[in-house]
Structure 1
Amino acid sequence: MAAESGGGLTEYIQHHLKHNMVADGTVHLDSWATALGLGLLFCFWFWSMARKATAGVPSKGQAFVEMVIEFVDGQVKDVFHGSRTFIAPFALTIFMWVFFMNAMDLLPLDLIGLLVTLIAGEETAHNTYWRIVPTADPNTTFAMSTVVFIMTIFYSIKAKGGWGFTKELFTAPFHAHGVGAKAALALPNFALNVVEYLSKPVSLAMRLFGNMYGGELVFMLIAGLAASWVTFFPGVLFNAAWAIFHILIILLQAFIFMVLSVVYLAMAHEAH
């Protein structure tokens, strides 16, 4: 995955944008494996901190974990007014997992290629594809937003009942009196509700994907800028500046994904 020697910047970017695919290209192995590994890392980290937690003066690690948990729980408490027994851990998982996946964008672009070169040689590295940022892959973001969508439907039915949820699809947002008027507005109401429900997971997934994909492309362009000795030092300065700014994007996108997920669940949980 190192920079191509003769292909130029375009081939270099195309190489880094290619996924490691299996099952005839339907599964992006790199996104799946990296996301799974980061999720297990998050679970192990918080489990180990909870296992070693003390009632006295907490360690720095315990204090940090407690601060994150209290922050997420406070955000959920402000938005979701039902039982937070499941929603708060769910929101914490979303926030930390998305943050971990976003943070992979801060790793050196050619790190995987360098490791493969040292282990298996340059030829193998040239034919190895591994995109390290799972959230720059729409498969990852749409998978997460689909889970949120399914939970939204579940909480809607739980709060309003199966008949109440179905009735709301055909009677809101436009209300009418009389059988004829209700029948006339049934299809427009249903169409608007379908668009509203489907737009939530689509916007949730595309917002995260677009920001992380754009950030990844900027890092690739900067890496191409620093490919020669003439532009090496300006490229390093630009890369450092963008990485510092990108930390804010990484945190902000994880926070937005978490908050919007909780907001959608809260809206579904509210019985009309």
Structure 2
Amino acid sequence: MASSGDTVTSSEYISHHLTNLTFGYHEQTDMWRFVDTANGIMPEDFGFWAIHVDTMLWSIGLGLFFIWLFKKVASAATAGVPGRMQNFVETIIEFVDDNVKSIFHYKNPVIAPLALTIFVWIFLMNLMDLVPIDWIPFFAQQMGVGYMKIVPTTDPNATLGMAFSVFFLIVYYSIKQKGVGGFLAELSFMPLGKWFLPFNLFLEIVGLLAKPISLALRLFGNMYAGEMIFILIALLPFWAQWLLSVPWAIFHILVITLQAFIFMVLTIVYLAMAHDDH
């Protein structure tokens, strides 16, 4: 782990590592530009259309890496004795498929690929938290890029984006399986019957909206806390960094895997509930 150096304070170091490379319309200067806290251009000064460039770069890049890797393994797959990479990929696919079969009891060819994509993609994004926090930002600074957060799941915009994508699928399959009338009836008449329609609507809508929000905030909160601990460790003397960072990184492997698994399982559960006909 690299240290924070002698030229910045601890608060400046933490603030720098928690700032996304943001590009957007800056109202004060009436220009489209990147965030630059040193010159007073703060992330909160941008409007709604601000983009976290680093989040987009790393999330899309890791998604393309996932597609490339699995396609490469699939193209080279053999019915004979599999190689180590084929065996590894097949183990992941079987693991996801077993979870889908145990939770989702309907015929839908989208669910298993969706679950696999969610699990592997989120795992890869979480895995970036194990890269020493100063390495890539240091190289980015050498190329003139002042900010670089490499863990997309520490950005609530990324986790909310994934969660609301799942939410739209929940609504889509609820309407597809039950029809618009059936979906609205489920919201209006459950769980207390038609005489408590306003109360039913309130409960069901809150419960429906809580699904994507809880999915997003659970993943974001756990990964953000993990990143913050790595940042705090990096502020310690060099010998203490190695003493603490290695055990925390080993423990964090469990956290990043578990968070990807939870997001995947809850997605399967919510989509199974969308297919249920009450």
Normalised by the size of structure 1, how large is the TM-score?
A: 0.90
Find out whether 1:40 has 2:67 as its counterpart. Answer: no
> Aligned partners of 1:82 and 1:113: how far apart in 2?
46
How far 1:161 sits from its partner (Å)? 1.2
Q: After alignment, is 72-81 or 233-242 more displaced?
A: 233-242
- Which residue does the alignment assign to 2:172? 154
How far 1:3 sits from its partner (Å)? 2.8
> Aligned partners of 1:139 and 1:245: how far apart in 2?
26
How far 1:132 sits from its partner (Å)? 0.5
> Aligned partners of 1:216 and 1:268: how far apart in 2?
34
Aligned amino acid, residue 187 of structure 1: P
Find out whether 1:201 has 2:225 as its counterpart. Answer: no
> Aligned partners of 1:13 and 1:173: how far apart in 2?
47
Deviations 1:156-188 (A, max 9, x none): 11221111111111111112xxxxxx3x41111
Gapped regions of structure 2 (runs ≥ 5): 26-45
> Retained in 2: the 8 A contact 1:77–1:84?
no
Q: What SS is found at the alignment partner of 2:235?
A: helix
> Retained in 2: the 8 A contact 1:76–1:84?
no
> Retained in 2: the 8 A contact 1:98–1:254?
yes
The 5-angstrom pairing of residues 111-260 of structure 1 reads 111-117=135-141, 119-120=142-143, 124=144, 128-175=146-193, 182=194, 184-225=195-236, 231-260=237-266
Aligned amino acid, residue 22 of structure 2: M
Gapped regions of structure 1 (runs ≥ 5): 176-181, 226-230
- Which residue does the alignment assign to 2:96? 72
> Aligned partners of 2:139 and 2:108: how far apart in 1?
44
How far 1:22 sits from its partner (Å)? 1.2
> Retained in 2: the 8 A contact 1:34–1:134?
yes
> Aligned partners of 1:174 and 1:259: how far apart in 2?
28
- Which residue does the alignment assign to 1:8? 9
Normalised by the size of structure 2, how large is the TM-score?
A: 0.88
TM-aligned CA distance change 1:167 to 1:113, over 3 Å: closer
Deviations 1:222-250 (A, max 9, x none): 0001xxxxx32122110011000000000
> Retained in 2: the 8 A contact 1:42–1:97?
yes
> Retained in 2: the 8 A contact 1:112–1:130?
yes
> Retained in 2: the 8 A contact 1:4–1:11?
no
Higher share in helix? 1
Q: Considering only aligned residues, what root-mean-square deviation do their CA atoms show, in Å?
A: 1.5
TM-aligned CA distance change 1:113 to 1:166, over 3 Å: closer
- Which residue does the alignment assign to 1:98? 122
- Which residue does the alignment assign to 1:82? 106
Aligned amino acid, residue 66 of structure 2: F
TM-aligned CA distance change 1:35 to 1:205, over 3 Å: same
Indicate which of 262, 266, 270 corresponds to 2:272.
Answer: 266
